[in-house]
Amino acid sequence: MNAHNALSILGSFSVDNLSGIKHVICVASGKGGVGKSTTALNIAIALSQQGFKTGLLDADIYGPSQPMMLGVAAGTRPEIVDKQYMKPIMAHSLASNSIGYLVDASTAMAWRAPMIVGAFNQLLKFTLWSDLDYLIIDMPPGTGDIQLSLTQALRLSGAVIVTTPQDIALLDARKGIEMFRKVNVPLLGVVENMAMHVCSNCGHAEAIFGQGGGERLAQDYHVKVIGTLPLDLSIRQHADSGLPISIAQPESASALAYQQLARRLVEEVDALSENKTPAPVIQVSDD
């Protein structure tokens, strides 16, 4: 199916399909290749395993990867309701949507920014999301149009920045943090991915991408490192197979690290909610 034709069947916004979602969390990175999408997926699965109703929106229009990592069969399309709305596709107990469900895997999204933003907004607002505790949005890398469009479209509960410890990744992660600060999106924390590799043969641990980078970044912006994830071959293998490690090996060290990350994410969201100042109550009298 042609992507433009697939989205053109949808009309103008008329129903708020986001009103039943308690918290919208975007998982972002300053650059590609740091494991953002894999992290977003396993966060969503861990939240679901902890009893939260969870959805996953793949907002990477140019390079959607969630359909493959969720193990959704090629050619699967969302059911269209009333010629306007898309039912999310269920996979691993997650309600999901992605441009990858609307186009063939080999289709190149040669679109300019207005079309990209339009596609993202339709995926976000024309999906029939059920009542969710969390909607995790896998953002495209960088600080471009979709990031700005998202912050204008709805109020986010917060953002998570994924980085590796290496200096070049940290440099770009800072740009992502600065963007969210400018648009007043709370930063829930930093996730340091590929922090340590443990040899499967001898058990030797080595920080291939450096050490302490995520912690320094978090300290500079007065936030926490809410997750430290290993450089683990099995994470990649299971993601490629469509059976994420949080499902395939729930008791593994890597899966338990995602579980801990999800718990810390919930703690940060709850802490922000508790610290919000209630709106003043205005009383009008005849005096």
pLDDT digits (tens, 9 = 90+) for 238-269: 999 999 999 999 999 999 999 999 999 999 99
List the domain boundaries for the chain.
3-275
Predicted local distance difference test score (pLDDT) of residue 12: 44
Predicted local distance difference test score (pLDDT) of residue 286: 56
Pairing between strand 158-163 and 54-58?
unpaired
Predicted local distance difference test score (pLDDT) of residue 13: 41
Predicted local distance difference test score (pLDDT) of residue 133: 98
pLDDT digits (tens, 9 = 90+) for 94-141: 999 999 999 887 777 777 878 888 889 899 999 999 999 999 999 988
Whole-prediction pTM? 0.88
At 261, which amino acid appears?
L
Stretches in the chain below the pLDDT threshold 50: 1, 9-15, 277-285
CATH superfamily of 3-275: P-loop containing nucleotide triphosphate hydrolases (3.40.50.300)
Pairing between strand 187-192 and 54-58?
unpaired
Predicted local distance difference test score (pLDDT) of residue 7: 54
